[in-house]
Amino acid sequence: MSHAPLLLAMLIGEALLGYPRRWWHPVMGAGALLAAGEARLNRGAPARRRLAGVALLALLLGLAIAIGVGLERALRPHAAAAVLLVPIGMTGLAQRSLHDHVAAVLRPLRAGDLSAARTAVAMIVGRDVAALDEAGIATAAIESLAESFGDGVVTPACWYLVAGLPGLMAAKLVNTADSMLGHRTPRLAAFGWASARADDGLNLLPARLAGALLCLAGGGGWRTMARDAGRHASPNSGWPEAAMAGALARRLGGPVNYDGVPSARAVLGQGPAPDAADLARALRLYRRACGALWLLVGGVAWLA
């Protein structure tokens, strides 16, 4: 049986309902295990740290896959019980939460409240935000929207299509591990190596699909995506970000600071830097791209 019909229900359900903010989320559990493992195992020489990072990721990845397999075996054979896979799978998708976080940046930015907009954008980006002006805030929010459309929506959806709930849970675990551990800092460079490489591998094709969906939704941006995606430091994030830059005809990327240290990032796209109106356009484009993903999954369900 194809995974596509259930995935379509998950995508639509998550977009409409989201996830209650006060409820415990599985990502919180994964994050707690990753943090505990890092605190206990990340010590010694770099080679030992790297091996420990590989072991931790393998252990938690095996646990995530085992839980997914167990749930599918228990629920999928029974038509009535299989419906329960929809809310379970919805926890691995981030359409609604991503939209809401970016909309929370747009509201004060439109009102000219840069202080509140900086506070809101700090919830979704890792760069220093204290000195960001309107263009800097809009740029940060648009980049996060495009990147997270790839790794928070398209990637788990693709892996659910390929491998069902175990695939979705594995993708979410790896993405969480990369977010927490995959940083090139003195402490995490060796320990987080496995998480970063695994995330690169799982996102390889979905990131390019995400870029294509954004170009389709925006009615353009293909040339910018093809030209600029490879300029990004990440082998994957550049595809949706460059696609968004091209579709909006705005300039993304450029130098920023992380913990007070300048980072000379490549520029993606051409044109002026974005403003609040462009952030609103980016959110509309994002909604259309999500709709395009639904149509794609619906087509797979119809053909299966």
Q: pLDDT for 23-50, tens place per residue? A: 778 888 999 999 999 999 999 999 999 9
> DSSP readout, 241-274?
HHHHHHHHT--EE--EEETTEEE-PPEES-SSPP
Q: What is the pLDDT of residue 220?
A: 96
SS3 282: helix
Rounded to a whole number, what is the largest CA-CA distance in the chain? 55
- SS in 3 state form for 217-240? HHCCCHHHHHHHHHHCCCCCCHHH
Q: pLDDT for 69-108, tens place per residue? A: 999 999 877 777 778 899 999 999 999 999 999 999 999 9
Mean pLDDT of 254-282: 94
Asked if residue 241 lies in contact with residue 265, where contact means CB atoms within 8 angstroms, the answer is no
Q: pLDDT for 116-142, tens place per residue? A: 999 999 999 989 999 999 999 999 999
Q: What is the pLDDT of residue 26?
A: 86
- State the pTM of this model: 0.94
